[in-house]
Amino acid sequence: MSASAESLEVTVLMPCLNEAETIQVCVKKAVTYLESRHIKGEVLIADNGSSDGSQALAQECGARVVPIQKRGYGAALLGGILAARGIFVIMGDADDSYDFTDLDPFVEKLRAGYELVMGNRFLGGIKPNAMPPLHRYLGNPVLTWVGRVLFRSPSGDFHCGLRGFRRDSIQSLALTAPGMEFASEMVVKATLRGLRMTDVPVTLSPDGRSRPPHLRSWRDGWRHLRFLLLFSPAWLFFYPGLILLLAGISTMVWLLPGQRTAGSIVFDVNTMVFAAAAIACGFQAIAFYMFAKTYAVQSGLLPGDPLARRLREVLRLEVGLIAGSISIVLGLALASHAVGAWGTQSFGPLNPEHSLRIVIPSATLLILGLQIIFSSCLLGILQLETRTTGARTRDSDRAVMIQADGAAE
């Protein structure tokens, strides 16, 4: 296990936090596997502050231990990946729930050119008492389904703890999640970046610990779901906004000529108010999508896509200013017409069923016009070129001036 970094093919990586009961059996299995297959590799323990002697126990069995100060499942793995010496990394929990003597499917797929090989417990089998019913029948299937729908990922088990990958490919994803949502982040970013992925069956066994697991079902489940939603601004903002916008516009147009009935139900100006609200909220949600997507692309969190580029062209500052101005002018024209109609009644009481049929569209156009203008301006700000890492800042400029003054003296 002392081969140089250049000659190592596989690193078996295990995050560890007080796993004294199971760490040795896991390390021994991994060492046995590497030796039996004549693979030049190492077993690496990313220790997250164990206080039960796990570090020494792992070293006794031939593992290399690196301390990771920042707490969290994801933080431990990120530190471990950075410290790994293998071309390929196979990560798995140190609780003896996965069999580290059966890693052939991962090594074969990685050697075949796959960049991320996911274990799939639903294909390989889940032994009795290995997974709580809440996780087996609700949490993992639902979150995996959400991830597959939102990101079109090929993975059938987003949260399997046993997975293998090319170290350089995963490092290029710039993963950051410190907690359990790290599992989702790896799959999502790998999918978005077009990494070559596949699943292999793995068997999940009951872990060998006497203490409760670190996982907290509802808290960590919510963190996974939150991550999936925040990394999919199209589903979080654009599609709901588009539905609201189209529903509001069609309802408004339908009610403009007059009262409508559907069976015994009567739709009138009160419905127009809700249609106006749907239009305003729908457009704002689409604008939020553009803000979120632009920020995510600019910061490197998400790759660009054709939809976002087309919308940026439509909502660029000049187009937005023109479109918003047209909407405001139309709104003012309708408002003037409404005031004129009011004047014919000597500015007295009006029939709401008639007057609001003009006032509501007028107010909607005015609101929409201002939203378009303000949103286009903010989108323009978000697209401004920012200073790069190597660019000079005001502080560096000030330092240069001070040095120059000192040299002149």
Copy the structure tokens of residue 277.
Answer: 């609200």
State yes or no: pLDDT of 338 exceeds 70.
Answer: yes
CATH 3.90.550.10: which residues of the chain?
Answer: 7-230
pLDDT reported for residue 342: 83
- What is the share, in percent, of the chain residues with pLDDT greater than 70? 89
Copy the structure tokens of residue 400.
Answer: 């240069």
Spacing of C-alpha 18 from chain mean position: 30
Q: How far is CA 236 from CA 95, 146, 290, 328, in A?
A: 36, 12, 11, 29
Q: Residues 159-175: pLDDT tens digits?
A: 898 999 999 999 999 89
State yes or no: pLDDT of 213 exceeds 80.
Answer: no
**Which residues are bridge partners to 266 per DSSP?**
261
Q: Which distant-in-sequence residues (6+ apart) come within 8 Å of 221 by Cβ?
A: 139, 143
Homologous superfamily (CATH) for 7-230:
Spore Coat Polysaccharide Biosynthesis Protein SpsA; Chain A (3.90.550.10)
Q: How far is CA 156 from CA 87, 125, 170, 189, 339, in A?
A: 25, 13, 19, 16, 61
- pTM exceeds cut of 0.95: no
State yes or no: pLDDT of 400 exceeds 50.
Answer: no
Q: Can you tell me whether residue 358 is helix, strand or coil?
A: helix
What is the layout of strands, in order, in the sheet containing 163-166?
64-67, 41-47, 10-16, 88-91, 163-166, 116-120, 197-201
Q: Residues 252-286: pLDDT tens digits?
A: 999 999 889 888 898 999 999 999 999 999 999 99
Q: Residues 12-45: pLDDT tens digits?
A: 999 999 999 999 999 999 999 999 999 999 999 9
pLDDT reported for residue 286: 92
pLDDT reported for residue 215: 63
Q: Residues 370-396: pLDDT tens digits?
A: 999 998 888 888 877 655 434 444 444
Measured distance CA(52)–CA(263) in Å, rounded: 72
pLDDT band per the 50, 70, 90 thresholds, residue 368:
very high
State yes or no: pLDDT of 137 exceeds 90.
Answer: no
Measured distance CA(282)–CA(49) in Å, rounded: 48
pLDDT reported for residue 386: 59
